[in-house]
Amino acid sequence: MRTPETVDINGAADLMKIHPKTVLDMINSGALPAARIGRAYVLMTKDVLDYIQQQIIHQTAERLAIKGRRIRTPDKRPRRTRRSPPNLDRYMKML
């Protein structure tokens, strides 16, 4: 099934797993680009997915930068050596 190029507020809310009112607040604050066509807002699916990707990159970089946080391997065994903090510039350039 092909993803539509545009979505309404409810479609964007479904993609982001949030309430439609939150999407409307994000549109009004300028966090999400949208156009009002008649009575409805129209968003590009690409813009919604780009916003989600930016949030994932930003939040992951923040989590990795927390000092003293223990990073565990997938099999849940603690690592024997301590990792140095990641280079945040690399992650911020992706935004």
| Total of domains in the chain | 1
CATH number at residue 20: 1.10.1660
pLDDT in tens, the chain (95 residues): 677 899 999 999 999 999 999 999 999 999 999 999 999 999 999 999 999 999 999 998 888 877 556 555 566 555 566 666 666 666 566 66
Rounded CA-CA distance 41/27 in Å is 9
Contact 24, 39 (CB under 8 A): no
Residue 56 lies in a domain: yes
Residue 74 lies in a domain: no
Residue 88 lies in a domain: yes
**pTM for the whole structure:** 0.65
Residue 1 lies in a domain: no
